[in-house]
Amino acid sequence: LIAGFVAAPNRGLLACFDAQRSPDLHLLFVLLFFLPCVVYLFAIKSVYELLLARAERSKSDGSMADDTRSFKSYTSLRTSLAWKRLICNIFLVSVTLYLPVGMYFVTDWYDYSKDLVVHTCRAVAQHVSVFCLCAFFGSMYFDFGDLEFIVVQG
Predicted local distance difference test score (pLDDT) of residue 76 = 76
DSSP-assigned states of every residue in the chain = -HHHHHHHHHHHHHHHS-TTT-HHHHHHHHHHHHHHHHHHHHHHHHHHHHHHHHHHHHHHTT-S--SHHHHHHHHHHHHHHHHHHHHHHHHHHHHHIIIIIHHHH-S-SS-GGGGHHHHHHHHHHHHHHHHHHHHHHHTTHHHHTT--------
Whether residue 73 has pLDDT greater than 70: no
pLDDT band at residue 153 under the 50/70/90 scheme: very low
List, for residues 12-60, the tens digit of each pLDDT value. 787 888 877 888 888 898 999 999 999 999 999 999 899 888 878 877 7
pLDDT band at residue 144 under the 50/70/90 scheme: low
Predicted local distance difference test score (pLDDT) of residue 68 = 53
